[in-house]
Structure 1
Amino acid sequence: MRNPIFFLALFSLCLSCGEMDSNANTTAKASDDKPSEVTQKAEFAIIIHGGAGNILKKNMTSEDEAAYKAKLEEAIRVGYEILKNGGSSLDAVQKTINVMEDSPLFNAGKGAVFTNAETNELDASIMDGKTLNAGASAGTTTVRNPINLARAIMDNSPHVMMAGTGAETFAKEQGLDIVSPSYFYTENRFKSLQRIKASEKTEGDHDNNQAFYDPTIKDSKFGTVGCAALDKDGNLAAGTSTGGMTNKRYGRVGDAPIIGAGTYANNNSCAVSSTGWGEYFIRAMVAHDISALMQYKGMSLAEAAREVIQKKVPDLGGDGGIIAVDKNGAMVAEFNTAGMYRATMNDKGELEIGIYGE
């Protein structure tokens, strides 16, 4: 009969071998991971856009370029300070968008474009990546800051979207800043509408979609402002605000207030704000599709954004862009147009501003 000590030693040796095999397997799996998956998480991050379109340096004066860059920096620094001081991504998104809504430079709030009826009808949405709660408003004419209305709908109502006079009634009840429709009048936006109407007369067909959506006419369908942010608690948020499409008719609503098209945020993936030809962004569900590609196909944010903006949207016939930040703080500005007003700031305070397709 063998010594019991022999069996004990043999058993211990087997356990050691098994542990070594287990460690070896773990190491092998780790070495197979894509480098992009081993990412150092940023403490916080923020990215904004001020619209995409036929934005060419040759058409931009040095004064205009400086004005856009200054306003983009002013806006993003508001959100950056909120995030730096431990504030929420929702607050950062809302307050950043407020700055752009109050500027006549962008097609949102004060700078909203005109409808065919020579009115200004504004849309906005906001989404919380932690809870997937969201709020949106469409077709308002008297709410100074539509993103504030979207936030109030999300926080203080059982609904996700309100539109028209009902949304304005709710805004009054919430004590939001209500203005005369004349507040949104800007001369350059009004002249843009008149140019498009003149082109329709030249075509001789007021229902001709090519004249109505003519991509060669500056500002005919682009605009919109948006923001996406990651806060120190790891929560993502996104928001979008717009005056829509110049010369829009018959109560038209674009993608900006549509959750999943113009705005989407999910802590498991990313936060996205869109800008472009809304009809196509709705059909492609652009913002959600980017998140879904990340969650279900394991794509990085950059890969998913490129797939949707450079392939899916153009294949449908649309154009535009997005800005987004993922759960690790990686940021992307992807567009298939000549330019997009945009800016980013990371947790190190590094600021980047872009306008053209560099």
Structure 2
Amino acid sequence: MLKKTLFLALFFVAGLLTVHAQKYAIVIHGGAGVMSKDKMDEKARAKYKARLNEALELGEQLLKNGAAATDVVVKVINVMENSPLFNAGKGAVFTHDGVNELDASIMEGKSLNAGAVAGVQDIKNPINAARAVMDNSEHVMLSGKGASEFAKEQGLEIVPNKYFYTERRYQSLQSLLKHERERTQKDNTGTVGCAVLDTHGNLCAGTSTGGMTNKKYGRIGDSPIIGAGTYANNKTCAVSCTGHGEYYIRLGFARDISAMMEYQNRSVTEACKKEIGKLSELEGTGGVIAVDADGNIAMEFNTSGMFRGYIKSSGEKEIAIFENE
């Protein structure tokens, strides 16, 4: 009788562990900024939501099949990098000199390993290059021509800079040059990111961007900077940011969220809201997505909208663009 009772007890515990191990969550963003329902018709909204949904569903399928968080982050971001809708990969904005320069980063929560590339002009999927830096080099960040040379050695797809051309982004640059402005609110949006909790209990986050329209002097924002635009730690959360990068760098935005969770015992939502508050105090704009070690999701921003969505193993799902949606 004792053996039977012990067996049942062990079976019950094993069942609980299995259920826990199968928990997963994925959250994505496609940029935050000033958005107006009046200026974005239903057809345009549908296009954005369809692409966000495509990315989420791919991520969920991979997670259900036991894929590692890192693999999921890369594959999901690839979907958005390959779309002209977002300011990443194919839809990257133009610099002052009329070229496209791209940045990306990725970080694993289990090992705290990380990789990034900055200012690259010919790597089709910068997030893949960031992953290669993390996995196959002793470095964390590579930039410019050196990053491209490394990507070629790794067998990643190299494309001519004209691959990234889209008429919408090109006209945005022409408008800025004509009016001699530094940037517009329109092209603050579009950076893409993904944060994942996989069925093995590991966290990972990644971010990819084309940066800021009309940027000069080799400007680099927060997206490729670990601790500013991207961060992951299995003890706390995985974070990806989008917005005016200079403010995120100054705040150490992504790492600060993790630190508040670790040292102040704040929830992931509380920490993200607190950090967005700090951003607002500096008059910076943008948003953040995060997932914690228990699969709790946060999607916070101080603009009128952020392309965003998530799916959890519990069946919860959301895709949204504007505030209070």
Of 126, 134, 149, the residue aligned with 1:169 is: 149
What's 2:182 paired with? 212
Question: Is residue 222–residue 245 contact of structure 1 (8 Å, CA) maintained in 2?
Answer: no
Question: Is residue 75–residue 100 contact of structure 1 (8 Å, CA) maintained in 2?
Answer: yes
Of 280, 290, 293, the residue aligned with 2:260 is: 293
1:326-349 CA-to-partner distances (Å, cap 9, x unmatched) read 000000100000000001000034
Once the two structures are TM-superposed, the CA of residue 317 in structure 1 deviates from its matched residue by 1.9
Once the two structures are TM-superposed, the CA of residue 62 in structure 1 deviates from its matched residue by 1.1
Question: Is residue 41–residue 329 contact of structure 1 (8 Å, CA) maintained in 2?
Answer: no
Question: Is residue 41–residue 328 contact of structure 1 (8 Å, CA) maintained in 2?
Answer: no
1:85-127 CA-to-partner distances (Å, cap 9, x unmatched) read 1110101100000000000000000000000000000000000
1:231-275 CA-to-partner distances (Å, cap 9, x unmatched) read 111100000000000000010000000000000000000000000
Of 124, 132, 137, the residue aligned with 1:157 is: 137
Question: Is residue 222–residue 277 contact of structure 1 (8 Å, CA) maintained in 2?
Answer: no
Of 238, 246, 252, the residue aligned with 2:213 is: 246
Of 281, 289, 305, the residue aligned with 1:315 is: 281
Of 294, 299, 303, the residue aligned with 1:333 is: 299
Question: Is residue 21–residue 201 contact of structure 2 (8 Å, CA) maintained in 1?
Answer: no
57 and 42 in structure 1: CA distance in 2 versus 1, 3 angstrom threshold: farther
1:256 aligns with 2:220: no
What's 2:250 paired with? 283
Once the two structures are TM-superposed, the CA of residue 351 in structure 1 deviates from its matched residue by 2.3
> How many Å separate the matches in 2 of 1:156 and 1:226?
22
Of 288, 298, 309, the residue aligned with 1:343 is: 309
> How many Å separate the matches in 2 of 1:212 and 1:42?
47
Question: Is residue 30–residue 189 contact of structure 2 (8 Å, CA) maintained in 1?
Answer: no
Counterpart secondary structure, 1:344:
strand
> How many Å separate the matches in 2 of 1:78 and 1:125?
20
Once the two structures are TM-superposed, the CA of residue 295 in structure 1 deviates from its matched residue by 0.3
> How many Å separate the matches in 2 of 1:41 and 1:284?
34
> How many Å separate the matches in 1 of 2:183 and 2:284?
11
Larger Rg: 1
TM-score using structure 1 length: 0.84
Size of the alignment, in residue pairs? 305
Once the two structures are TM-superposed, the CA of residue 41 in structure 1 deviates from its matched residue by 8.8
Once the two structures are TM-superposed, the CA of residue 159 in structure 1 deviates from its matched residue by 0.3
Question: Is residue 253–residue 275 contact of structure 2 (8 Å, CA) maintained in 1?
Answer: yes
* Structure 2 unaligned blocks of 5 or more: 1-19
> How many Å separate the matches in 1 of 2:22 and 2:237?
13
Q: Which amino acid aligns with 1:186?
A: T
1:266-300 CA-to-partner distances (Å, cap 9, x unmatched) read 00000000000000000011110000000000101
Give the alignment of 1:19-58 within 5 angstroms.
Answer: 43-58=23-38
TM-score using structure 2 length: 0.92
| Cα RMSD after superposing both structures | 1.2
Q: Which amino acid aligns with 2:144?
A: G
Question: Is residue 42–residue 328 contact of structure 1 (8 Å, CA) maintained in 2?
Answer: no
Q: Which amino acid aligns with 1:110?
A: K
> How many Å separate the matches in 2 of 1:319 and 1:62?
25
